[in-house]
Structure 1
Amino acid sequence: MTTFPNFLDTFTSTLLGTKPFEENPRHRALLNVFTEVQDLEQRLLAAMTASPQPGPGAVEQLEACTDLLLERLAAGYELSLLLSTGCCCAEDVVEANPCVPYGLEQDEECCQEPAEPPAGLLDACSGVFAELGDPHAVASADLVDALRRLPGVAGNHWRYSDLTQARLAELLAPYGMRTRDITLPDGRRRKSYQREALLAAMGVCTSC
């Protein structure tokens, strides 16, 4: 994917003698998630139309298709959320760059925090990270296994014991938390949640 601004955009700004435009984080998030949805759809189509593999290969092929499908559903949900949100600025820069749309006074809020997931789920995820020694990332499957041992409701009327990777992804998507392909300390490469993203979702400054 071409990044913006790249050297051509920088050259144009220099040639015209203008200052580079400041990027809007919300627009960048929309572009990134839209591109991810397209990429996942292409990968899913390729996986589903690949020639069937005999024996154990068929099981691995099915698991790969399932993982891609879950990722596509989570990314699509996040894209729908971004497109439907009436906020004029990204949630992670509201305090740094307050926005005042038409009809609002300076002191009024224009961005609303998402209703889900409840703070208890974020705290529960943080607890799992802490139990594991606060690694930089935890596999989605491992996080779900740990959360399912907890009592109570995680969100959307789902109890912790009923959580799946797809349901957890749906609950965490409003906070910008998505899995990434990460090689874990034990050598496994898994769809994982990053600790930095969790801290940001909880409002903890990670640059202090």
Structure 2
Amino acid sequence: MPFPNFIDSFATNITGATPLETNPQHQALLDAFIALQNCDRRLLTDIATAIETGKGTAQQLEACADALTERFIAGVELSRLLSVECCCAQDAEPCVPCGLDQGEECCQDPELPGSLLEACLDVFAQLGDPYAVASADLVDALRDLPGTAGNHRRYSDLTQARLAQLLAPHGMRTRDITLPDGRRRKSYQRDALLAAMGVCTSC
């Protein structure tokens, strides 16, 4: 159940308390924990059903496997949120550092990049907007970024295979290209990246 819900809001009105703005990081932690609890309940229910029937049908086994996969993902997301050092609201002004005295350095996380496509385009720009960048070079640059690239994959954990999986839904594929430095590598093309972002490359 989301917080604050009707009962909590009603209690605030009755007591005359001043409504407080929810810290987005705290809310994300609460939502992730609730999602994990829901996964646990579903997983235990599916397992109990299979035991009660005395046999594990293919459908029941598939349901258990799906529930277990969702549980893994929910656990990873909660672990990620718990590992964040700063609990400040990112848009709060002024920032009140967590556990620090006023005037000390703010503990906010560095500014997160936009979408994965935008992050890739930024790498191209930093390299002088070449027509192609080797997959290995692109991954090396992206791994320095904070945050997640997609599908709960942190930029720091990217590999060439994982990057290919994340970019495939956008229609991007590597091609064997001879780069300006003479290397022939599996590379991503800038025009393909712009096309995936909806930018006309022939105008």
TM-score (norm 2): 0.49
Q: Say which one has the larger Rg.
A: 2
TM-score with structure 1 setting the length? 0.48
